Amino acid sequence: MKLLVVEDEERIASFLGKGLAAHGYAIEWASTGAEALRLGTGQDIDLVILDLKLPDLDGLEVLAGLREQGITVPVLVLSARAHVGDRVRGLELGADDYLAKPFAFEELLARVRARLRPRPAAAAGPLRAGDIYLDVLTREATIAGRTVSLSEREFSLLRAFVGRPSQVLSRRELLAMAWGMDFDPQTNLVDVYIGYLRRKIGERVIETVRGAGYRLRIDGA
């Protein structure tokens, strides 16, 4: 598998490249945002390791640019920025994981392996729960006969609820089901997207279960 390492500091890029190559990965290196956008659109890249501090573009601009071009490969963000807002912004733009600097190489390697691990294919048929109907193939949502426009992440979150109606889902479970994260980024990301969904499908449809998580109330749809 081929990884794209986007890092402007040659010493760090060399360290990452040698370490990952020793574990069987082929490595491409980009030292600028423009180069990352060019190489990241290649058909043979399986994962991007993206530093946010680049000489020409902010790493988040690179991330947004890749996603806007339809590039869906996993992106692991590396950053010395510790602020929660930066992590939320990165995840909202489509990052799959976020690792703060300094980090242990073993942890980076574990996260790379986790992101490249094949995941079970999800059912592609339509899903129903009460008055909510989701067409997984076309990613269309209908609430009580009304078509609702949802972002990709909003759709994935609602799909998690519809797949387990009336069950309480914790924030960690929702992160795993809708974002594919096997860790808690210590942000209010789930709560923010619950708010987005409530504004679109109704405030009472998703119920807060204090201290436990959230639950889809099918009788409130």
Q: Is residue 32 part of a domain?
A: yes
Distance CA 63, CA 37 (A): 9
* Arithmetic mean of pLDDT, 23-30: 94
Q: Are residues 97 and 185 in the same domain?
A: no
Torsion of CA 16, 17, 22, 27, to 10 degrees: 140
pLDDT value, residue 118: 65
Q: Residue 14: which pLDDT band, with cuts at 50, 70 and 90?
A: very high
Distance CA 93, CA 131 (A): 30
pLDDT value, residue 186: 64
For the domain that residue 87 is a member of, what is the CATH number?
3.40.50.2300
Q: Are residues 92 and 17 in the same domain?
A: yes
Would you call 90 helix, strand, or coil by DSSP?
helix
Q: Are residues 77 and 112 in the same domain?
A: yes
Q: What is the DSSP string of 38-80?
A: HHHTSTT--EEEEESB-SSSBHHHHHHHHHHTT--S-EEEEES
* Arithmetic mean of pLDDT, 29-49: 91
Q: Are residues 10 and 109 in the same domain?
A: yes
Q: Are residues 112 and 149 in the same domain?
A: no
Q: Are residues 23 and 80 in the same domain?
A: yes
Mind listing the pLDDT tens digit for each residue in 117-160?
765 545 556 889 988 999 888 889 999 889 999 888 889 899 99
Q: How many domains does the chain have?
A: 2
Q: Are residues 110 and 204 in the same domain?
A: no
| pTM summary value | 0.63
Distance CA 62, CA 83 (A): 19
* Arithmetic mean of pLDDT, 77-84: 74
> 185 pLDDT exceeds 70?
no
Q: Is residue 73 part of a domain?
A: yes
R_g (Cα) of the chain, nearest Å: 19
